[in-house]
Amino acid sequence: MDTQPNNGISDAAAAPIPNTNGGVPGLNPDLAVPTSIPPMMMPGQGFIPDQSLATTALPDASSTAPFMFSNGNGNGALPDKAITADEIALYDRQIRLWGMAAQAKIQNANILLITIRALANEIAKNLVLAGVGSLTVLDSAAVSEADLGAQFLLSEVDNPVGMNRAEAASAALRKLNPRVRVHVDAEGVKAKGPSYFGAFDVVIATDLDPDSFNLINTATRLNGKAFYAAGTHGMYGFIFSDLIEHDYVIERDLGNVATQPRQETRTRSIVNVQTTKEGPKTVESVTKRELYSTWFLASDVAGLPDEYAKSRRRLRSVTPALSCLRALWEFMQIQGGRLPGTREDLKLFTQIATHKHKALNLPSETLRPEFLRSFLQNLGSEIAPVTAILGGQLAQDVINVLGQKQQPIQNMVIFDGTTMEAPMYPLHPEGTLGANLLSTGGGVVDPLTAAAAAAAAPPPPPNGSSAMVVPPEMTSMGLDASPGMVVPPLHPATAAAALAQTQGMSMGVDLTAPSTSAAMMAPVAATQPPSDASAQQVSAQTTASSAVPTTSSAAETQAQAQGSTSNNATDASPQTNTMSTQ
């Protein structure tokens, strides 16, 4: 199934691209690898447990990626499987809230949940109760005594300690709702290639280190899938989402003034308005679109929205937990994924946090020592009330995204259980957002491919002209493995390979060698207008993010570079799967 058009997106997004041949990717016979299962995808891997899943997952663009690039009509044709009378009775109270069409979409959705600790226990419980089509739980860790504290799903098993955590939790999930197919994948996420993620409609990664979030997000971007990252540390936690571009339809009674298509916020626009007569009243169906950016950008370099910068009061109200989480992520990147523990660590963490706070233009007095102490005290912990709240919010957003009838989270929620606040900050770089951020021309293009393609082309010459920079895929996949210093720009392809290696994550392809498809790409990529000089400084994602605080100006530059990039490449979108089989 991996050779099927697993992004589905290019179909709906084909508008700007001529000659897409109906948008079916992999149409180039040289690129398509018919029917064979990629080597990395073992038969028992769980996410394609049976043929029926394979057929339900990918019938057409509208159901494989219902949340993105949708046809602007969220209540269009129902997905393949109708809802039975039994299901209507079981799901009665929720169908009355979000309707049959949304319920059908939920029941046809395949969800991947990575790492199942207490937060994921809550997410899984909520999604399984709602009746998603399938839930794949991926976790390679063994159950510890401490896991028993807040992970209630473990209680279905007699002696879970020492068992695989995904396996141990799955028994309870299956009993919770026998209609949901629950799959267990006990491999580590780092063993997965990008194409693995293409089989799911939504990928939720919890309680991971930032580099893992970054890699998974890159893979979901490649596959055009919705991505969530979330984690808790005791009283504190966060939810991040990258839906790339998400359309949803708000239905409401027509007011005195008809709604017009327009830009509502920096990220949200009204793209379509339809009216229908329902008895005596007229109903307006307003299609809105939200644009997103990636974990890499939102987790570190992106600043607060403009309206914050203008208001001292708003800046003062920003939770210091945001700075602390950013500091924690950076600390983990520098320190190989571990949490601060020693006295030295705490000192370093405090320095980074102070810097992050400053980088967000937040007043220094809002980062108080008591707060830092409280935050640090909670690191690594998980407690039931907080995981219940965040797991509830995240699962509800997944459900809303599948149903396409509600405003989704945009894009970072920070939770502080001591104040019971859950502010939401849209954290985005300057410039282009959405699908164009990391792919080309609206179709989903494998950044790795593009990077490799660029490698085959001569490096773009410096150019004093403003707007354009190198294709974002080059910068996005770059990586510098040596923390603490700014390195000269890497050759993009090398950088991508370095990324894969450093993360210990097989991306399933030798990135240093231009692939066939990459070669195909080369001319396109090479014709990208080279851009301003600043782009040339840009080396690699992780360079910026793993550097000590003083390098953040470089990071910001890079964010700008990424954000302002636009692409017009390519109609022959090489497919992830093609890459991954090599």
Partner 1 sequence: MEAPKEAAADAVPSTSTAAAGAQEPQQPQRVVASHPPPPPPQRSALAARDRYNHQSLGASLNSLVKHARVLMVGAGGIGCELLKNLVLTGFGEIHIVDLDTIDLSNLNRQFLFRHEHIKKSKALVAKEAAQRFNPNVKIVAHHANIKDLEFSVPWFRDFKIVFNALDNLDARRHVNKMCLAADVPLIESGTTGFNGQVQVIKKGLTACYDCTPKDTPKSFPICTIRSTPSQPIHCIVWGKSYLLNEIFGVSEDDFDHSADADNAHEIEELKKESEALKQIREAIGTPKFPKLLFDKVFNADIERLRSAEDMWKSRRAPEALKYDDVMARASQLLESKDAILADGQRIWSLEENLVVFNDSLDRLSKRLLQMRATKGASAPEPTITFDKDDDDTLDFVASSANIRSTIFGIDLKSRFDIKQMAGNIIPAIATTNAIVAGLCVLQSFKVLKGEYGQAKEVFLTPFANARLLAPDRNREPNPDCPVCGVYYTSVIADLNRATLEDIVEGLVKNQFGYGDKEFAVSTDVGIVYDPDETDNLEKKLTELGIKGGSFLTITDEDDELVDVKIDIQDGVLDGQKESFRPVHAGRPEIPQKPQKASPVETDGSSHGQPNGKHSLGEEVVEAPRGAKRPPPDDEKPPLKKAKVVSSDDDVVVVEDAGGAIVIDD
Residues in contact with partner 1 by CB under 8 A are 85, 88-94, 96-97, 100, 122, 125-126, 129-131, 144-146, 148-150, 152, 155-156, 175-177, 234-235, 265, 279-280, 377-378, 380-389, 391-393, 395-396, 399, 406-407, 409, 413, 417, 419-425
* CB 487 to partner 1: min, Å: 38
What's the min distance (Å) between Cβ of 129 and partner 1? 4
Tell me how far, at minimum, the Cβ of 156 lies from partner 1, in Å: 8
DSSP letter, residue 164: B
Q: How far, in whole angstroms, is CA 483 from its chain's centroid? A: 24
Q: Report whether 133 contacts 402 (CB < 8 A).
A: no
The helix (H) or strand (E) run that includes residue 328 is helix 320-334
**Closest residue by Cα to residue 117 from 156, 161, 149, 158:** 149
The token duo for 268 is: 């949200």
Report residue 576 as tokens. Answer: 């992830």
Report how far residue 474's alpha carbon sits from residue 471's, in angstroms, rounded to the nearest whole number: 6
Q: How far apart are CB 367 and partner 1 at their closest, in Å?
A: 20
The smaller minimum CB distance to partner 1, of residues 135 and 544, is found at 135
Q: Which residue(s) pair with 403 in the sheet?
A: none
Buried b (16+ CB within 10 A) or exposed e, 463-502: eeeeebbbbbbbbbbbbbbebeebeebbbbbbbbbbbbeb
Decide whether 377 or 466 has the Cβ nearer to partner 1. 377
Q: Across the strands, what pairs with 37? A: none
Nearer to partner 1, 174 or 358 (CB): 174
Please say which residue, 5 or 79, places its beta carbon nearer to partner 1: 79
Q: Report in angstroms how near the CB of residue 114 gets to partner 1 at its nearest.
A: 20
What one-character DSSP code corresponds to residue 301?
I
Which value, in Å, is the radius of gyration of the alpha carbons in the chain? Answer: 23
Task: Report the residue number, 81 or 152, with the smaller CB distance to partner 1.
Answer: 152
Q: Which is nearer to partner 1, 424 or 513 (CB)?
A: 424
| C-beta of residue 451 within 8 angstroms of C-beta of residue 526 | no
In the complex, minimum distance from the CB of residue 389 to partner 1, in angstroms, rounded to a whole number: 4
Q: Between 199 and 398, whose beta carbon lies closer to partner 1?
A: 398
Nearer to partner 1, 14 or 83 (CB): 83
Distances from the Cα of 78 to the Cαs of 22, 83, 101, 134, in angstroms? 21, 10, 6, 18
Measured from the CB atom, is 125 or 183 closer to partner 1? 125
Two structure tokens written together for 554: 């470089």
Name the CA dihedral angle for 121, 126, 132, 134, rounded to a multiple of 10 degrees. 10
Q: How far is the CB of 258 from partner 1 (least distance, A)?
A: 22
**196 close to 338: Cβ distance less than 8 angstroms:** no
Q: Give the DSSP H/E element, type plus range, for residue 239.
A: strand 236-242
Q: Which is nearer to partner 1, 251 or 532 (CB)?
A: 251
CB of 392 to partner 1, least distance (A): 4
CB of 380 to partner 1, least distance (A): 8
CA distances from 81 to 59, 106, 198 (A): 12, 11, 21
Dihedral sign for Cα 344, 362, 414, 187, please.
negative
Smallest distance, Å, CB 366 to partner 1? 17
Closest CA to 390 of 325, 334, 336: 325
Residue type, 154: L
- Residues 54 and 134 sit within 8 Å (Cβ to Cβ): no
Q: How far is the CB of 405 from partner 1 (least distance, A)?
A: 10
Hey, what amino acid is at 264?
E
Are 148 and 160 contacting, i.e. CB atoms less than 8 angstroms apart?
yes
Contacts of 187 (CB under 8 A, 6+ apart): 45, 138, 140
Select 353 or 395, whichever has its Cβ closest to partner 1: 395
Q: Supply the minimum distance, in Å, between the C-beta of residue 519 and partner 1.
A: 46
Q: How far is the CB of 138 from partner 1 (least distance, A)?
A: 22
84 versus 482: smaller Cβ distance to partner 1: 84
In terms of CB distance, is 126 or 217 closer to partner 1?
Answer: 126
Phi, psi of 173 (to 5 degrees): -65, -40
